[in-house]
Amino acid sequence: MKIDLRRIYRFEPAPSSEDGTLPRGGDIYYECKSCGDIVSSVAFHQVACGCGNLSGAQGAVTARDPAGVTPLRGRLK
Ligand SMILES: [Zn+2]
Ligand 1 center from residue 64 Cα (angstroms)? 10
Ligand 1 center from residue 33 Cα (angstroms)? 7
Cα 69 to the center of its chain, rounded Å: 8
DSSP state of 37: -
Ligand 1 center from residue 59 Cα (angstroms)? 19
| pLDDT tens sequence across 49-69 | 999 999 999 999 999 999 999
Task: Give the side-chain half-sphere CA count within 13 A for 3.
Answer: 7
Closest C-alpha to 47, from 12, 15, 13, 3: 3
Ligand 1 center from residue 77 Cα (angstroms)? 24
Q: How far is Cα 73 from Cα 29, in angstroms, rounded to an integer?
A: 6
| pLDDT tens sequence across 25-44 | 999 999 999 999 999 999 99
The pTM of this model reads 0.90
